[in-house]
Amino acid sequence: MTQPIDIRISNLDLDDLAQFEGVVAVFVDPEGKLDAGARKVNSLTRKAVARFIEGDAFSALDEGAVSPLAYPAGMAAVCVLVVKLSRRPSQENLRKAGAALAKAHKAQPMRILAGNLKNAQELAFGMAMRAYDFDVHKTEDPKVLGPVQLQVSHPEAIAEAAKAGMAVTEGVFFTRDLVNEPANVLTTDDFAARLAAMQELGLDVEILEEADMEKLGMGSLLCVGQGSASPSKLVVMQWNGGGDEAPFAFVGKGVVFDTGGISLKPAAGMEDMTMDMGGAGVVAGVMRTLAMRKAKANVVGLVGIVENMPSGTAVRPGDIVTSMKGDTIEVINTDAEGRLVLADVLWYAQERFKPTGMINLATLTGAMLVALGHENCGVFSNSDDLSKDLLKACAAEGEGAWRMPMGPAYDKLIKSDKADIKNIGGRFAGSITAAQFLQRFVKDDVPWCHLDIAGVAQVKSETTLSPKGATGWGVMALNRLIADVYEA
C-alpha cells in the first residue's frame, strides 16, 4: 500500500539553521508576532520575514495558509515558508497548515520550526494526509520527497500524541488505495486477499465463498455477481480489543466494478465505477486503524464483495430472489445492486454477532449527489442516539454529514405486486427509498445508520486533506466514534 511520508519529530535546534540546505518553515500568528524559529530566520535573512508580514500578501493569507520566500539571503536554504497560524490554533487550521506544507514539499529536505506550537501532532497529521500520491501504475520514476523534520520544544510528548494520527493515516491510505485501484487489479479475489493480509495486524479475518453463502440462503447478494466470472465473497474482520461485550458492526458494499448489469449504465463516466466498492474500502480502512492503534473495543467489519456484469447468467429485471432473512425481492433494476448486497450482509451480521449497533456504508445512489453534492454524506438512521454520536464524530473530524428523513410513507414506493419488496422505487426520493429498503433488513432493537457516501468517496478536485480521486472519507469519523463512545 501507499506509505505515508516519514515525519521525524525532534527537539527545536536553531544552531545550524544558516547552513541547512533545504526548505525551512516558520510560523507567524495573524497579528504578525514571530515565534523563536521565525525570529531566528528573520535575523539571518536581514529581516526579510518582518518585511513580508508588513505587506499586503501576508494580510491576504487565510489562517493555515503558506507563502514562500525563495532563496533567502543569509541562509543556505532554497526557500523559507511562512505559515500564518495562531499559537493556539484550531485542529482544522493546524491540519490545513500541514496540508499546505505537504503541497509545497518536494525533493528537498524540509525543517519545520514549530517550537511551542500547541498540538503540533495535528500539523503532522495534515501533512501526512495531504502527501498521498497514488502512482503505482505509472512507469515514470516515482516522485521522491525529501525527509521532513518537525522540530518542537517537547518532542517526546508530540511524538506520542502523533501515534494515533499515524494509525488513522494508514487506514485512510489503505482505503484510498483500494478505491483508486482499477477493477482488473482489484478483483474480488484480490480484494479479499488484501483484507486477509491484515491478520498480521491482529485482526481475525474470515472469507466466506459462494458455496458458504448459498448454504446461508444469501440469494440477494449472490444474484448480483452471478453474471461475472469473478466469484462473490463475504469477508469478516474481527477486532477483539474489549471485554466480553458484543461488538459494534461496520458493513460495507464492495462492488469492485458496476456496469449496471443488464440495466446497463451509459458509457460516459462508467470508468468511475471502480469506486463502487468505496463503502467496503472505508470499513477495511477503519478496521486497519483500530488494529494499528489497538483500540480497546470489540468491532467487526463485514464486506460483501461482488462484481456486477452483464452476461448470459446475469440476474434480469423482473427476477425474484430470496434474501437470507427470507424476504423475497423483485429486481426491477439490476443497477440498484448495492442494496441487494447489503441486505444479506446486514442480516448475517445481526444473526451471527448480535451487535450493539451497526453502521453500513455504500456508494449507493446518484440521488445522493443531487441532494448533497460532494460536501456531505447522507445519514439515515433508526436511532437518534447513534446518529447524534456519529454526526458529532463527523463534525469533530471535519467530514461532512447530514441526516436525511425516513418514514413508513416511503415504503409504498418500493412495494412489489409480485414479491415482498422491489429493489427500486420511482424517480423521486431515490436515496430515501434505498434506505427504507435496507431498514427492512435491520432488526427493530438494533441501533443502525446507513451512510450513502456516493458524493464523498471520490471527488474530481482536491480537498484540504486529499488530492483528487479517492478521499478515504469516513475512516477518521468512524475511528473517532469508536474511540469516544465504545472504547472501554
C-alpha cell at 404: 436525511
Q: Is 484 left (phi over 0), alpha (psi -120 to 50) or beta?
A: alpha
Q: CA torsion sign, 10 to 16 to 21 to 23?
A: positive
Rounded (10°) CA dihedral 274, 188, 284, 213: 130
Q: What is the mean pLDDT of residues 179-190?
A: 98
Average of per-residue pLDDT across 408-423: 98
pLDDT band at 87 (very low <50, low <70, confident <90, very high): confident
Q: What is the rounded distance in angstroms from the CA atom of residue 475 to the CA atom of residue 285?
A: 6
Size of the chain, expressed as the number of residues it contains: 488
Q: Residue 378 and residue 478: Cα distance in Å, rounded?
A: 15
Catalytic residue among 40, 84, 111, 339: 339
DSSP label at residue 34: B
Does pLDDT of 488 surpass 80? no
pLDDT at position 144 is: 87
Domain coordinates of the chain in residue numbers? 7-157, 168-486
Residues 123-160 have pLDDT tens digits of 999 999 999 999 999 998 878 899 999 999 999 999 99
Beta pairing class for 458-459 and 469-470? antiparallel
Residue 341 has a pLDDT of 98
39, 106, 265, 443: which one is catalytic? 265
Asked if pLDDT for residue 91 goes beyond 90, the answer is: yes
Average pLDDT over residues 412-426: 97
Q: What is the pLDDT of residue 402?
A: 98
pLDDT, mean over the chain: 97
User: What digits encode the pLDDT tens for the residues 213-251?
Assistant: 999 999 999 999 999 999 999 999 999 999 999 999 999
**Residue 357 grid coordinates:** 449497533
Percentage of residues in the chain having pLDDT higher than 90 = 98
Distances (CA, A) of 41 to 24, 81, 151: 9, 11, 14
pLDDT value for 122: 98
Q: Which amino acid is at 94?
A: L
Dihedral sign (CA 334, 448, 465, 137): negative
| Residue 458: its H or E element | strand 458-459
* pLDDT at position 142: 78
Please, which residues have CB within 8 angstroms of residue 270's CB and are 6 or more apart in sequence? Answer: 259
Inter-residue contact 406 to 432 (CB < 8 Å): yes
122 SS3 class: helix
- The pTM score is 0.97
Grouping H, G, I as helix, E, B as strand and the rest as coil, residue 364 is coil
Q: Which residues contact 108 (CB under 8 A, 6 or more apart)?
A: 21, 22, 23, 78, 79, 146
Please, which residues have CB within 8 angstroms of residue 2's CB and are 6 or more apart in sequence?
132, 133, 134, 136, 173, 176, 177
Per-residue model confidence (pLDDT) at position 422: 98
C-alpha distances in angstroms, 392 versus 383, 386, 399, 471?
14, 10, 10, 20
Is-catalytic flag, 265? yes
Mean pLDDT of 320-343: 98
Q: What are phi and psi of 143, to 5 degrees?
A: -65, 130
The helix/strand/coil state of 255 is strand
Domain 7-157 superfamily per CATH: Leucine Aminopeptidase, subunit E, domain 1 (3.40.220.10)
Strand pairing report for 23-28 and 357-362: unpaired
Tell me the pLDDT tens digit for each residue of 258-284: 999 999 999 999 999 999 999 999 999
Closest CA to 367 of 283, 440, 424: 424
Which triple of cell numbers denotes residue 290?
Answer: 483500530
22: left (phi over 0), alpha (psi -120 to 50) or beta: left
Tell me how far apart the alpha carbons of residues 273 and 378 are, in angstroms, rounded to a whole number.
Answer: 19
Alpha-carbon span 41 to 360, nearest angstrom: 51
The predicted structure's pLDDT at residue 143: 81
Grid cell locating 83: 505559515
Instruction: Tell me the chain's radius of gyration from C-alpha atoms.
Output: 25
CA 424 to chain centre: 27
- In this structure, CATH architecture of domain 168-486: 3-Layer(aba) Sandwich (3.40)
Q: Is the dihedral of CA 134, 258, 343, 412 positive or negative?
A: positive
Coil, helix or strand at residue 69:
strand
- pLDDT band for position 285 (50/70/90)? very high
| The pLDDT of residue 248 | 98
Residue written as grid cell 449504465: 265
For the chain, first and last CA: distance in Å?
A: 31
SS3 of 165-208: the string is HHHHHHHHHHHHHHHHCCCCCCCHHHHHHHHHHHHHHCCEEEEE
C-beta of residue 40 within 8 angstroms of C-beta of residue 11: no
Q: Give the three cell numbers for residue 200.
A: 498480521
